Amino acid sequence: MARELTEIIKNRYNRTALFYDWMDRMISGDWRRRVWQEARGRVLEVGVGTGANFPFYPPECRVTAIDFSPGMLARARQKLQMAPAPVDLIEMDVQHLEFEDASFDTVVATCVFCTVPDPVQGLKEVRRVCRPEGRIVLLEHVRSEHWFFGPVMDALNPLVLYLIGSNINRRTVANVRMAGIEIEREEDLAAKIVKLIIGHPGGI
Ligand SMILES: C[S@@+](CC[C@H](N)C(=O)[O-])C[C@H]1O[C@@H](n2cnc3c(N)ncnc32)[C@H](O)[C@@H]1O
């Protein structure tokens, strides 16, 4: 069942790749800049999508960027020249990362754990491959805790999930904690729905 769901979401993103760059305008460049200010050393970008973060990569980093959707990766490949840092693009599922433990100084994901079929499993993998003294930097939209907007997001979620493969009602901060990641800082960037979450792997 988990494998089937992964295939369904992957295929949805292969379709979403056709119009993702238009949709992506909802994510501000300022937010992306803030995320990448936190990156150091050897970096893993999870769910690179069509490469919207490429222009923000710090030139002194070396980036490995993964995504499970060949359609999204094909678009990213066309934009590689926008990255000021060296990038290895690899097709891979964050729920089963093919890297050794503690391989990266920083792991970054922007708007990814709203889509990963088993987000806690994906976040556990992120924690595993990040060095114990490394940093995990996430930009995520989450379910609103507002009495009206929260239930509206729940009601709309099946439609959004069907159309683009993304959930708008994930409780990602709780999922991050459930995966064992220790949160150092959590910043509300917009309406308590868009969050910058900075953490580290904690005691493994
Ligand atoms: C909403 S897009 C965000 C793309 C990019 N990070 C950005 O900020 O524009 C979510 C991305 O996560 C990828 N993704 C979802 N689940 C994944 C998984 N299990 N493993 C790897 N990539 C995944 C999707 O294919 C898609 O490219």
pLDDT reported for residue 130: 98
Confidence band of 76 (pLDDT split at 50, 70, 90): very high
Helix or strand or coil: residue 195?
Answer: strand
Pocket around ligand 1: residues whose beta carbon is below 6 Å from it? 9, 13, 24, 27, 47-49, 52-53, 66-69, 72, 93-95, 110-112, 115-116, 122, 166
Please report which confidence band the pLDDT of residue 164 belongs to, taking 50, 70 and 90 as the band edges: confident
What would the two tokens of residue 41 be? 């050393």
* % of the chain residues with pLDDT over 70: 99
Q: CB count, 10 Å around CB of 140?
A: 22
At residue 90, the pLDDT reads 97
**pLDDT (tens digit per residue) in 138-154:** 999 999 888 999 999 99
- Average pLDDT along the chain: 92
**Rounded to a whole number, what is the distance in angstroms from the first to the last CA of the chain?**
29
Can you identify the CATH homologous superfamily of domain 2-200? Vaccinia Virus protein VP39 (3.40.50.150)
**What are the CA-CA distances from residue 131 to residues 81, 141, 174 (Å)?**
28, 25, 22
More confident: 13 or 118: 118
Centre of ligand 1 from the C-alpha of residue 150, in Å? 23
Yes or no: say if 59 and 40 are a contact pair by the CB < 8 Å rule.
Answer: no
Query: What confidence score (pLDDT) does residue 17 get?
Result: 83
110: CA distance to ligand 1 center in Å?
Answer: 8
pLDDT at position 204, please?
A: 55
pLDDT for the residue 1: 63
Q: Which two tokens stand for residue 193?
A: 């729905």
Among 45-49, 89-93, 192-196, the least confident range: 192-196
* Dihedrals phi, psi of 42, to nearest 5 degrees: -85, 120
For CA atoms 127, 131, 133, 136, the dihedral sign is negative
**How far out from the chain centre does Cα 74 lie?**
18
pLDDT at residue number 11: 85
Rounded distance between C-alpha atoms, residue 96 and residue 74, angstroms: 21
| Number of residues that make up the chain | 204
Atom of ligand 1 nearest to the CA of 95: 19
CA 50–ligand 1 middle distance (angstroms): 9
Q: What is the largest CA-CA distance in the chain?
A: 45
Q: For residue 46, report the distance from its CA to the centre of ligand 1, in Å.
A: 7
